[in-house]
Structure 1
Amino acid sequence: MRCLHVVPSLAPEAGGPTTAAIALVQALCDRGIDAEVATAGTPPPLPFPVHGFPVSPLTVRQYGFAPTLPPWLRSHLPQYDVVHLHGCFAHSSTVAAAIARRHRIPYLWRTLDHLSGPSLAQGTWYKHLYLRTVEAANLRGAVFHCTSPTEAEWVQDWAGDRPVLTIPLGVTPIPEAPAARCTLRQRWGIPADTPIVLFLSRMHPKKQPEILLQALAGLDRPWVALLAGTGDPAYLKGLAQLSTNLGLGDRVKFLGFVQGEAKTEALRGSDVFALPSQSENFGLAVAEAMAAGLPVLVTPGVQIAPEIAQAEAGLVVPPTVEAWRSALESILRNPAQRQTWGRNGQTLVEQTYQWGAIAERLATVYHQLIAGELTHPERG
């Protein structure tokens, strides 16, 4: 079975969606599936076949217009048995879906929270117009891949009678780093007994790091916050200014984009993970934090929040400054509770978010698509 994954970007800075796509394709390859990737931009070196296509300098925002991608897809897509699309409102997904329909190749569409109410509220008019015009036939031909039940409910509004499947993401094991607590504090000049709150995500208004900063500003006890991630320079400048205005000084440190050993050090060396995001279709960074043994603070908009609450792996906190301040006060004053929640989170990840099992489920779905058991896409 040959499967082509179409991913808007494989740049590490793209965050969780890219990390998940790479890990997913690798897990499929490990199980004997002939999986490849087509992407806009220059991909990093990877252990499976990747076809990269230059992005036009005239592209709009994150649409990723790659003019040489459509001809390649028209020529090569018939060689594949199934297509797995990643993300909406991307040139790569739109053209791949259209060409797959013409060749009657079944396609699974991972929507990445792009069809949720909060996401569609950002740029409402043009997103709705795009879905109802450019993407209408493509949506009618898809089988949808969601990573949480809540995301599936949002997608169902656009899917009509098309199948909507819920298959979570996996988590790549976080390397052990016994010295991380020491080296992280040495690197950033943090006292050994000061707890570290880690925010590790793409810097975007949707992630609401402002809530975290404002909540921390009202705490009397010692703390240091590490904000790791990249984003729009103007937005990052605004966050730094907010930190200054709140008088947080060197208690807030902006790490920029981290990966590899630096990411492992941040995860293994911190004490609490915090993500006050408006919405997350899964929350891969949260799952990675649990895999590293960190207790997590999240909002109900993080779609694995119910699992976190049930496993007692952290706190699910309404997205208000007052609620977050209270939650931070509680978790920072209780090291024993942090350790218990951290162990519970590791157990949750080990039992639920393993790439091997998820790849097996997807392989079954691919076979069902090819056999017509989930219906073939419409022609159009």
Structure 2
Amino acid sequence: MKTAQPIAPSSTSNPPAGATPPMRILQVFPTYKPAYVYGGPIFSVSYLCEQMVRQGHEVELLTTTANGPDELDVETGVPLDVDGVRVYYFRRWTKDHTHFSPALLWHLWKNCRRYDVVHIQSWWNTVVILSVVVCWLRGVRPVLSPRGMLSGFSFSKSHASLKHLFHRHVGRRLLRRTVCHVTSPLELEECKAEGLEAFLLPNLLPLPAEPPPRPPSDGVLRLAFLSRIHPKKNLEGTLQALSLLDFPFELHIAGSGEEAYLEELKTRSRALGLEERVNWVGHLHGTEKFEFLARADVFLLLSHNENFANVVIEALSVGTPVLVSEGVGLSAFVREEGLGWVTDLAPESIAAALSTAFEAPSKREEIRRRGPALIQERFSAEKLVPAYIQAYREHLRHESA
């Protein structure tokens, strides 16, 4: 990230010739770069904002100084240029995932009516929930991206009973005062089940123009996992499935997580006799992430639930086939486009899918040739930013009708 610097009150690039008039867009996101500890959404939200600015729109973003248990060392309460986006950081009063920030909410109260669209990201924290309340009280109906927080898995974990109680009496009413943006058919179904208005557009991601080179095959199936290491990702089930395989393989795990949980997984790996076949890589970022993915024969993401899964697109963008669970938002896309394999979470099913992948080198090579161009076509900024702007404009027309 470029060094954040104070900036003048307003400036955006001129829109391309023939483009629709620029929009004034406010994004509200509890965490923002360089707080990469929070995983994939920071990459996709920041890239969306940056590309909207590049295409001539005025984008401002409100966030907190959250950086895990620590705080970002940034100036607060003033606009900073963060890779071209005007970002306001605000101190939070809490050090946990609630991110309570009265200063952010007060700024939103004073300014939310200045924008054409207010787009709020996530759910289940005080920044987002109270931002929806602020917009409601100020007569603004925001766009809300719940980021998988309305899934059955989310309701079953971490304060489950409190979530159900809040949702039944308060949350559902607040959500109906928004228009939901979802990133996958699975998430769209979740919103429809709640009776919510929603539109579907995928995440926007920075992708390499050309896939990095990959080493020649040596008969060993190289498997890769790259994500935040968290119980949601089902690495326990993945390791169990690997213990059932009868062909040569190696698994490379990239990502960071709580140290106690990492040690638990390493202990399980040793108990299953996988210690020599599992390599713990640590956190990867930028170019090294794509090089890591390109070296794999198959990328694995066998999560209990993922509303989208940025890393699936990143793996396919370098030509690496994927094996995903049915709970991954992109599973239908993978199946329909023939970009890999989809399985349930039973270790026996995962092992069977891996065996199928091992025995299909020609299909893996076909995906490696076809995948990058398909991903560039479907998920380019040139295609998706205008789609987001069109969705915003449809929302505005609906509100003014």
2:53 pairs, out of 26, 29, 48, with 29
Query: 1 CA distance for matches of 2:142 and 2:44?
Result: 18
The residue that corresponds to 2:130 in the other structure is 95
Q: Secondary structure at the match of 1:4?
A: strand
| Structure 2 residue 280 is matched with structure 1 residue 254 | yes
Which residue of 321, 337, 340 maps to 1:314?
340
Task: Say whether residues 1:151 and 2:187 are aligned partners.
Answer: yes
Note if contact 2:244-2:348 (Cα within 8 Å) is conserved in structure 1: no
TM-score scaled to structure 2, two decimals? 0.84
Q: 1:67 to 1:180 in 2, by over 3 A?
A: farther
Q: Partners in 2 of 1:29 and 1:174 — Cα distance?
A: 20
Preserved contact between residue 119 and residue 144 of structure 2 (Cα < 8 Å): yes
Q: Following the alignment from structure 1 to structure 2, what is the Cα–Cα distance between the partners of residues 324 and 202?
A: 20
Match for 1:202: what amino acid?
A: R
Does the 8 Å contact 2:251/2:279 carry over to 1? yes
Within the candidate set 95, 98, 104, 1:63 is matched to: 98
TM-superposed CA distance for 1:199, in Å, is 0.7
Say if 2:299 is the partner of 1:267.
no
Task: Using the TM superposition, give the Cα deviation of residue 100 of structure 1 relative to its aligned residue in structure 2, in angstroms.
Answer: 1.4
What letter matches 1:51 in structure 2?
Y
Give how far 1:133 is off. 4.0
Matches of 2:321 and 2:400, distance apart in 1 = 42
> Normalized against structure 1, the TM-score is what?
0.88
2:240 is the counterpart of 1:214: yes
Provide the C-alpha distance between the structure 2 equivalents of 1:169 and 1:375, rounded to a whole number of angstroms: 27
Q: How many residues align?
A: 363
1:326 maps to amino acid: A
Distance in 2, matches of 1:375 and 1:258, equals 46
Q: Deviations over 1:28-69 (max 9, x none)?
A: 21221111211122379432111112233x444x22222421
Letter of the structure 2 residue corresponding to residue 173 of structure 1: L
Cross-structure match for 2:15: none
**Residue 299, structure 1, aligned to residue 321, structure 2:** no
Counterpart contact for 1:13–1:257, Cα < 8 Å: no
Deviation at 1:137, TM superposition (A): 4.2
**1:361 matches 2:387:** yes
Question: Which segments of 5 or more consecutive residues in structure 1 lack a partner in the other structure?
Answer: 183-190
Give the deviation of 1:180 after TM superposition: 5.4
Indicate if the aligned counterparts of 2:119 and 2:145 stay in contact, CA closer than 8 A.
yes
Q: CA separation in 2, counterparts of 1:179 and 1:163?
A: 44
The answer for the alignment partner of 1:168 in structure 2 is: 202
Q: Deviations over 1:291-337 (max 9, x none)?
A: 11001001111122122112111001111111111211222243322
Pick the structure with more helix per residue.
1
2:212–2:318 contact (8 Å) kept in structure 1: no
SS in 2 for 1:315: strand
Match in the other structure for 1:2: 24
Going from structure 1 to structure 2, the CA distance change for 1:177 and 1:115 (only over 3 Å counts) comes to: closer
Deviation at 1:193, TM superposition (A): 5.4
Counterparts of 1:181 and 1:170, CA distance in 2: 29
The C-alpha deviation readout for 1:218-241, integer Å capped at 9, x for no partner, is 223222211111222222121111
Matched residues in 2 for 1:81 and 1:106: separation? 11
Q: Is the 8 A contact 1:197 1:223 kept in 2?
A: yes
2:269 aligned to which of 227, 237, 243: 243
SS in structure 1 opposite 2:120? strand
- Aligned residues of 2:306 and 2:329 also touching (Cα < 8 A): yes
User: Which AA in structure 1 matches 2:64?
Assistant: A
- Counterpart of 2:392 in structure 1: which amino acid? Y
Post-superposition offset of 1:256: 2.0
| Partner secondary structure for residue 85 of structure 2 | coil
Shift of 1:284: 1.3
- Following superposition, the deviation at residue 252 of structure 1 comes to 1.0
Asked if 1:20 corresponds to 2:44, the answer is yes
Matched with 1:105 is 140
Instruction: Check whether the contact 1:311–1:344 (CA below 8 A) recurs between aligned residues.
Output: no
1:253-286 superposed Cα distances (whole Å, 9 cap, x missing partner): 1222211122122112222100111111112111
* Aligned partner of residue 13 in structure 1, secondary structure: helix
Does the 8 A contact of 1:312 with 1:344 survive in 2? no
* Bigger relative contact order, structure 1 or 2 (CA pairs below 8 A, ≥6 apart): 1
Q: Structure 2: how far apart are the matches of 1:280 and 1:129?
A: 23
- Tell me how large the CA RMSD over aligned residues is: 2.3
- 2:104 is the alignment partner of 1:82: no
**What's the CA shift for 1:134?**
4.6
Amino acid at match of 2:132: A
How far has the Cα of 1:81 moved from its partner? Answer: 2.2
Alignment-mate amino acid for residue 25 of structure 2: C
How far is 1:177 from its partner? 5.9
Correspondence for 1:187: none
The 3-state SS of whatever aligns with 2:260 is helix
Q: Compare 122-131 and 31-40 and name the one that shifted more.
A: 122-131
Q: Distance in 1 between matches of 2:307 and 2:399?
A: 23
- The answer to whether residue 108 in structure 2 is matched with residue 73 in structure 1 is yes
Where structure 2 has 5 or more consecutive residues not aligned to the other structure, the ranges are: 1-22, 66-71, 75-80
- Aligned-partner Cα distance in 2 for 1:130–1:30: 39
Q: Are the counterparts in 2 of residues 313 and 343 from structure 1 also a CA contact under 8 Å? A: no
C-alpha distance in 1 between matches for 2:358 and 2:84: 41
Q: Note closer, same or farther for the CA distance 1:248–1:260 as it changes in structure 2 (3 Å cut).
A: same
The partner residue of 1:325 within 334, 345, 351 is 351
